[in-house]
């Protein structure tokens, strides 16, 4: 065996080794990437977006807006209090409801309801909304996010499971009515 041949054979073996490592690397990378992106692909999981009870209808008197809380449908044992989510329930006339997300449509801070002036106010950047959730003033670009609701067996149910954000409002087809300001 000539030296030249020996060198080229070893160089080829190094290349083979690197090639094999590359294959193994890709083989290992697939499950790692799949694992890392599991929060994105979890939508197929059962129960992530489900109908949740906010309680009996009597808790929400007609003509009033009340705070309600629910347990997020997908929680882990170690989520603690963070699994409890608040929302505002407005009973218009005893039959028609509006359920608003607690999160301001600007940057997600918790809005507060003031029944005396019929306004929602946000403590962070001063977004204000009218009682029907439409934008009144401040930095928000839209009205409050709303959940789909239905009434079953005297209970108010909403479809929830995901934190609403400007890029992903909970229910796209439930929009606050625009009020002439």
Using alpha carbons, select from 158, 141, 154, 128 the residue that is nearest to residue 52: 158
Q: Other CB atoms closer than 10 Å to residue 116's CB: what's the count?
A: 5
Among 15, 125, 150, 177, binds another protein (CB under 8 A): 125
Q: Which of 171, 94, 91 is nearest to 131 (CA)?
A: 91
Task: Compare residues 1 and 77 and give the one whose CB is closer to another protein.
Answer: 77
Q: In 3D, which of 63, 56, 59, 69 has the Cα closest to residue 154?
A: 56
Residue 165 vs 174, nearer CB to another protein: 165
Site for another protein in 70-109 (CB under 8 A): 72, 74-86, 102-103, 106-109
Instruction: Give the range of 12-20, 57-65, 149-157, 165-173 binding another protein by CB under 8 A.
Output: 165-173
Please tell me whether residue 48 binds another protein under the rule CB under 8 A: yes
Q: Could you tell me how many residues make up the chain?
A: 181
Among 25, 61, 94, 126, binds another protein (CB under 8 A): 126
| Pairing state between β 119-121 and 112-114 | antiparallel
Task: Tell me which long-range contacts 32-39 makes (C-beta under 8 A, separation of at least 24).
Answer: none
Report the residue number, 5 or 116, with the smaller CB distance to another protein. Answer: 116
Task: Name the site residues for another protein (rule: CB under 8 A).
Answer: 37, 39-40, 42, 48, 67, 69, 72, 74-86, 102-103, 106-112, 114, 116-119, 121, 123-126, 128, 130, 136-141, 161-163, 165-168, 179, 181
């Amino acid at each position: 065996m000539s030296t030249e041949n020996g060198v080229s054979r070893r160089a080829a073996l190094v290349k083979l080794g690197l090639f094999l490592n590359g294959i193994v690397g890709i083989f290992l990378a697939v499950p790692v990437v799949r694992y890392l992106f599991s929060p994105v692909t979890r939508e197929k999981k059962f129960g992530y977006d489900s109908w949740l009870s906010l309680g009996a209808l009597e808790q929400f008197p007609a003509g009033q807006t009340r705070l309600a809380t629910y347990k997020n449908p997908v929680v882990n044992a170690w989520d603690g209090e963070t699994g409890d989510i608040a929302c505002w329930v407005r009973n218009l006339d005893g039959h028609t409801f509006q359920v608003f997300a607690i999160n301001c449509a600007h940057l997600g801070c918790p809005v507060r309801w003031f029944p005396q002036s019929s306004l929602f106010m946000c403590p962070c950047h001063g977004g204000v909304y009218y009682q029907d959730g439409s934008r009144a003033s401040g930095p928000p670009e839209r009205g409050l996010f709303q959940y789909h609701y239905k009434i079953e067996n005297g209970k108010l149910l909403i479809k929830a499971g995901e934190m609403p954000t400007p890029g992903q409002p909970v229910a796209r087809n439930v929009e606050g009515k625009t009020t002439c300001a």
